[in-house]
Structure 1
Amino acid sequence: MTEPQRPESIVHEERAQLDFSQSMSYGDYLHIDQILSAQHPLSPAHDEMLFIIQHQTSELWMKLLLTELTSAIGDVRESRLPPAFKKLARASRIMEQLVHAWDVLATMTPPEYSAIRPYLGPSSGFQSFQYRCIEFALGNKNAAMLKPHEHHADRLALVQSYYQAPSLYDEALRLLARQGVPAPANRLSRDWTQPYQASPEVETAWLSVYRAPEQHWDLYQLAEKLTDLEDAFRLWRFRHVTTVERIIGFKRGTGGTGGVSYLRKMLDVVLFPELWQLRTDL
């Protein structure tokens, strides 16, 4: 059975609606041509396209994650908690996207990676300046991690700005004090370039929040948003190390790190220690 012929006026109208030659198109707005022309495999191996796109898309997600974290830190600093909650929740969902990206890369087998590895030179995810900014924003400060970016002045300046600024957790502790929850002075004003060290007094402060959540609802919600975020970040780290081990075993990383041995050490880093310890002590 043939479909009835549509009136010519409708056909002309549809064609007019689909003519984007005189206006900004989808591709123009998203700069699709630039994005899709940014993949330049160096090896003859089929699987290098997967390797490139997985890392490029992860960097795009990290750009959004850093945008949300930076804005959320500013919100917490200014005691604007409702928008901070929204941004932190979004940051956790972005981390989930980054976790699942490893699922795709894990389809690459050791021989497939070995075919492209000689073409990578010393390039390594270790050199991702956006990832380093994220780690510093979350409080994992380490002066040695500035060195991989010394050769690029603009990137180094950006990484240094996060290294020198209070982290998300630092701002959360200062908020505790502003809202009348006693917090130790040596955690409210300190050298922000130093990694955070757990404090029994800080745990006591958070315990007072968790023991009376109705009285401290905003702080209670903030603590749970931070826990969600670190939970997602831990999953990302775990999938990272397992994917690397699955593909290259215990070979050294292309950037000169110990590879899996280095990544496993990172699994032990706790960003917001008192928020995890208080669960035992409640």
Structure 2
Amino acid sequence: MTDQKRTEQIVAEEGAQLDFSRDMSYGDYLHLDQILSAQHPLSPAHDELLFIVQHQTSELWMKLMLHELRAAIRSVAGDDLHSAFKMLSRVSRIMEQLVGAWSVLSTMTPPEYTAIRPYLSNSSGFQSAQYRCIEFALGNKNAAMLKPHAHHPARLAEVDAAWRAPSVYDEALRLMKRSGIDMPADRLERDWTLPYEASDAVHQAWLVVYRDPKQHWDLYQLGEKLVDLEDAFRLWRFRHVTTVERVIGFKRGTGGTGGVSYLRKMLDVVLFPELWRIRTEL
């Protein structure tokens, strides 16, 4: 076979492999036409596309985070810790992606944001239903956070369900009881819509686990996965605060919050207090 014939044969074979007219393609599977056509800047500013893509991709990561976090909670409730560990680790890694994403948005300067801000009206990340479900699944319950979703029944129902359900930490404490660790009754059945409050008895329970990790290896591992999770969540929150301050200073947020002042208060929220407190005594 001549070189020309060989080349013609290769081109013909590869051409057949590149014909996706009859099969599902990459773009079909991912619905890229819909995703890539979902960006609709309202201002003439060049930088608005960055702002839109930043928040849309964050919502996609949060969708996956909720998928994993909810499954992890079910796994803890069902004593399937091996599955829960994998899912909780994945949630922490997703948060790392979200931390990195703030670095991209921080390239937007104050004048660039000012150019698009009037076009945002009252829209704000504060109104993200998925973020609120994440907060609730992690135990930071607040009935007032249902109100931003009252105008959208389906969205409100999802947030309300997360508000009423046990958090990942609530299920962890119930698992400890099932594993033979003394746990106060008021932590096993309580009003799940209320934020978790630290308990000396729970503190002592975690000390039992951490003082003999070989004896309580699975619970010890669960405690460390939860600390990893809160560590990553703190970094995500902190990066959010610093990026907002860098871009808008101390202006009020578009959703009506105090902006940076509100976000800084959130930095003080501790989700799993006993897991942090025990470190002083070990």
TM-score (norm 2): 0.98
Partner of 1:192: helix, strand, or coil? coil
Letter of the 1:174 counterpart: R
1:15 partner amino acid = G
**1:25-78 deviation digits (Å, cap 9, x = unpaired):** 000000000000000000000000000000000000000000000000000000
Read off the aligned partner of 2:54 and give its amino acid letter. Answer: Q
Deviations 1:237-264 (A, max 9, x none): 0000000000000000000000000000
Aligned equivalent of 1:181? 181
**Partner residue in 2 for 1:93:** 93
Q: Does 1:243 align with 2:215?
A: no
State the Cα deviation string for residues 189-218 of structure 1 (Å, max 9, x = none).
100000000001001000100000000000
Give the corresponding residue for 1:22: 22
Using the TM superposition, give the Cα deviation of residue 12 of structure 1 relative to its aligned residue in structure 2, in angstroms.
0.9
Report the alpha carbon displacement of residue 7 of structure 1 after superposing the two structures with TM: 3.3
* Residues in 1 aligned to 2:70 and 2:279: alpha-carbon distance in whole angstroms: 28
| 2:165 is equivalent to residue 165 of structure 1 | yes
Paired residue secondary structure (1:21): coil
Question: What does residue 209 of structure 2 align with?
Answer: 209
Q: In the alignment, what sits opposite 2:116? A: 116
Aligned to 1:269: 269
Matches within 5 A, 1:7-86: 7-86=7-86
Letter in 2 for 1:122: N
Alignment match, 1:133: 133
The separation in 2 between residues aligned to 1:246 and 1:12, in whole angstroms, is: 55
* Cα RMSD, aligned residues only: 0.7
Give the AA of the match of 2:167.
Answer: S
The CA deviation at 1:11 is 1.6
Structure 1 runs of 4+ aligned residues shifted over 4 Å read none
Please, which runs of 5 or more residues in structure 2 have no aligned partner?
Answer: none
Structure 1 CA distance, aligned partners of 2:197 and 2:71? Answer: 24
How far apart in 1 are the matches of 2:162 and 2:155? 11
1:92 is aligned with what amino acid? Answer: S
- Once the two structures are TM-superposed, the CA of residue 281 in structure 1 deviates from its matched residue by 1.5
Per-residue deviation, residues 100-131 of structure 1 (Å, max 9, x unmatched): 11000000000000000000000000000000
- For 1:172, give the aligned amino acid: A
Match of 1:153 in 2: 153
Give secondary structure in 2 for the equivalent of 1:7: helix
1:164 shift after superposition: 0.2
Per-residue CA deviations over 1:259-278 (Å, capped at 9, x if unaligned) read 00000000000000000000
Partners of 2:245 and 2:261 in 1: CA distance = 9
Q: For residues 133 and 98 of structure 1, what CA distance do their matches in structure 2 show?
A: 16
Q: Aligned partners of 1:100, 1:265: CA distance in 2, in Å?
A: 22
Q: State the one-letter code of the partner of 1:228.
A: D
Distance 2:124 2:9 in 1: 58
Report SS of the residue matched to 1:274: helix
Distance in 2, matches of 1:89 and 1:206, equals 20
Give the letter aligned to residue 148 of structure 1: P
Q: What SS class does the counterpart of residue 252 from structure 2 fall into?
A: coil
Q: Could you state the TM-score of these two structures normalised by the residue count of structure 1?
A: 0.98
Q: Secondary structure at the match of 1:65?
A: helix
Q: CA deviation at 1:98?
A: 0.6
Paired with 2:165 and 2:171, the residues of 1 have a C-alpha distance of 10
